Amino acid sequence: QPVFTVDLNGTTFGAQAGGHAVSACNNNNYSFTLAGVSAGTLPLVGSIRVWDGAIGTGTAGPMFTDTINSIGDLIYAATSGSVNAGTWSVEFLSVTDANGCSADLTGGSMNFTFNVSDPSATTINQSICAPNSYTFDGQTLTTSGTYMDTLTNAAGCDSVITLNLTVNQPSATTITQTICAPNSYSFNGQSYNATGTYTATLTNAAGCDSVITLNLTVVDVQITQEPSSSLSLVEGTTGSLSVTATGATTYEWQVLLSGTWTSLSNGATYSGATTSALGITAALSLNGFQYRVVVTGAAGCSDTSQTSTLTVTPALSRVIRIDALTACIGDTIDVPLEAEDFVGVSGLSLVIDYDGQSLSYQGYTSVGLNGGTLSVQGSATGSQVRLGW
């Protein structure tokens, strides 16, 4: 009695109680071949039905019904559409030769139970930091993009892996900062007070290195020699206050007026108001004035001097008239001298007005600040002597 077998995608199945369990992948096509009926050289005619389900089930009937007509070995080949999970049945009904002889086939039907699995899909979202790379499907990747690889999962179906790769770049930031000494600058938890370049490596929002470079400039403007704390001048004379500083490019002398420091300008009273030395022409109205200088360098960095106080004393001018004296040429005459307001006087000078021949100055001897003796020598009488100091 003829026996037929089914070849399903390269695997041969024979009649078996309970049918066959087959693992299949959704959306895959399966081909089958029935063979095994031999009739020599006579043509054989038969019929076959393939069911999507158990034989005889389903209101739609078999998937297809076909007639077999062949000579020699009975071979029928067909390709199904995509299979569904469940039972898939092959029914071989009968075979008849040219003489009208018919025979039923042993195992005239077979049941196949398909365990259908869907292809698996996996998505990998991966971020890396340049210049690092990522290995996928045997490749070394360094560029952002979408990459795919198809493998076989545990069910024997396709396993499609999609890689969404993002390559983030490290960031670099430069900070240029200028400060004035003796201040310091805080950077990465440390305080710096010297000119230089400093770096710190942090982590940016993408998780990559963030290299921050600090270019720090420390400007040091410093007064190294202060102006005198006091300056004493006689009315009408001139004097100066001076300062020495490092890193200074401008000088601004100021005077304290009504509680406010006011910048000076060059004129009859002041000179060098924007230099390292301030010239002052003393006037009594300036007595007690206070001065200072502000020196400034790069980036507006500055230093301010101590305060200098100006003292102005009146100029002394006295004319002393001496009564007429009688003396001979060559005699020495003594003139009593009384004077007041000798504060700040360091010396005396003698001017003699005369109405005769000139007199020559011999000198004087001072006695404290309240008087002295003046000796003159002359050749005339009735002369007038004027003293100035």
User: DSSP labels for 78-142?
Assistant: EEEEE--SEEEEEEEEEEEETTS-EEPPBT-EEEEEEEEEPPEEEEEEEEEETT--EEETTEEE-
Residue 340 binned pLDDT confidence (cut-offs 50, 70, 90): very low
Residue 20 binned pLDDT confidence (cut-offs 50, 70, 90): confident
Is 13 in the same domain as 110?
A: yes
pLDDT averaged over every residue in the chain: 76
Q: Are 175 and 215 in contact (CB under 8 A)?
A: yes
Query: CA 122, CA 140: separation in Å to the nearest integer?
Result: 20
Q: What is the pLDDT of residue 324?
A: 56
> Is 320 within a domain?
no
Is 20 in the same domain as 60?
A: yes
Cα–Cα distances (Å) from 326 to 377, 379, 382, in that order, read 12, 10, 8
> Is 328 within a domain?
no
Query: CA 296, CA 201: separation in Å to the nearest integer?
Result: 36
First vs last C-alpha separation in the chain: 162
Residue 41's domain is classified under what CATH number? Answer: 2.60.40
Residue 382 binned pLDDT confidence (cut-offs 50, 70, 90): very low
> Is 325 within a domain?
no
Q: What is the pLDDT of residue 21?
A: 77
Residue that terminates a domain, selected from 281, 313, 345: 313
Look at 38-52, 219-233, 234-248, 337-351 and tell me which has the smallest mean pLDDT: 337-351
Is 85 in the same domain as 185?
A: no
Query: CA 10, CA 101: separation in Å to the nearest integer?
Result: 32
Residue 311 phi/psi, 5-degree rounding, is -115, 125
Is 284 in the same domain as 302?
A: yes
Is 292 in the same domain as 382?
A: no
Cis peptide before 131 (omega within 30 of 0): yes
Is 357 in the same domain as 377?
A: yes
Residue 201 binned pLDDT confidence (cut-offs 50, 70, 90): very high
Q: Among residues 81, 70, 73, 80, which one has the least CA distance to residue 47? A: 70
Query: What are the tokens at 273?
Result: 């108001």
> Is 254 within a domain?
yes
Q: What is the pLDDT of residue 314?
A: 83
Highest mean pLDDT among 35-39, 64-68, 116-120: 116-120
Q: What is the pLDDT of residue 288?
A: 97
Q: What is the pLDDT of residue 157?
A: 80
Residue that terminates a domain, selected from 284, 313, 342: 313
Could you identify the residue written with the tokens 């002398």? Answer: 253
Q: What is the pLDDT of residue 132?
A: 96
Q: What is the mean pLDDT of residues 146-153?
A: 92
Q: Among residues 159, 167, 168, which one has the least CA distance to residue 123? A: 159
Q: Is 210 helix (H, G, I), strand (E, B) or coil?
A: strand
Q: What is the mean pLDDT of residues 205-218?
A: 96
pLDDT over 90 for what percent of the chain? 47
- Of 323 and 240, the one with more pLDDT: 240
pLDDT over 70 for what percent of the chain? 54
Residue 283 phi/psi, 5-degree rounding, is -135, 150
Q: What is the mean pLDDT of residues 102-109?
A: 56
In this predicted model, what pLDDT tens digit does every residue of 87-102 receive, in sequence order?
A: 666 666 666 666 666 6
> Is 319 within a domain?
no
Residues composing the chain:
389
Q: Which domain holds residue 20?
A: 5-117
Is 77 in the same domain as 159?
A: no
Q: What is the pLDDT of residue 33?
A: 57
> Is 322 within a domain?
no
Query: CA 354, CA 384: separation in Å to the nearest integer?
Result: 5
Whether pLDDT at 73 is above 60: no
Residue 279's domain is classified under what CATH number? Answer: 2.60.40.10
Query: What are the tokens at 41?
Result: 């050289």
Is 243 in the same domain as 292?
A: yes
Pairing of strands 139-141, 260-263: unpaired
Look at 48-57, 78-87, 214-223 and tell me which has the smallest mean pLDDT: 78-87
Number of domains in the chain: 5
Is 130 in the same domain as 63?
A: no
Residue 242 phi/psi, 5-degree rounding, is -135, 160
Q: Are 292 and 257 in contact (CB under 8 A)?
A: no
Q: What is the pLDDT of residue 302?
A: 97
Residue that terminates a domain, selected from 99, 117, 135: 117
- Of 216 and 365, the one with more pLDDT: 216
Q: What is the pLDDT of residue 175?
A: 98
In this predicted model, what pLDDT tens digit does every residue of 269-306 receive, in sequence order?
A: 999 999 999 999 999 999 999 999 999 999 999 999 99
Is 108 in the same domain as 35?
A: yes
Query: CA 250, CA 302: separation in Å to the nearest integer?
Result: 9
In this predicted model, what pLDDT tens digit does every residue of 44-55 receive, in sequence order?
A: 555 666 666 666
> Is 247 within a domain?
yes
Residue 366 binned pLDDT confidence (cut-offs 50, 70, 90): very low
Q: What is the pLDDT of residue 19?
A: 74
Residue 76 binned pLDDT confidence (cut-offs 50, 70, 90): very low
Q: What is the pLDDT of residue 158?
A: 82
Is 226 in the same domain as 198?
A: no
Bridge partners (DSSP) listed for residue 252: 294
Query: CA 58, CA 46: separation in Å to the nearest integer?
Result: 23
Q: Are 181 and 219 in contact (CB under 8 A)?
A: yes
Cα–Cα distances (Å) from 335 to 50, 80, 102, 190, 330, in that order, read 162, 154, 182, 82, 16
> Is 318 within a domain?
no
Is 206 in the same domain as 306?
A: no
Whether pLDDT at 71 is above 80: no
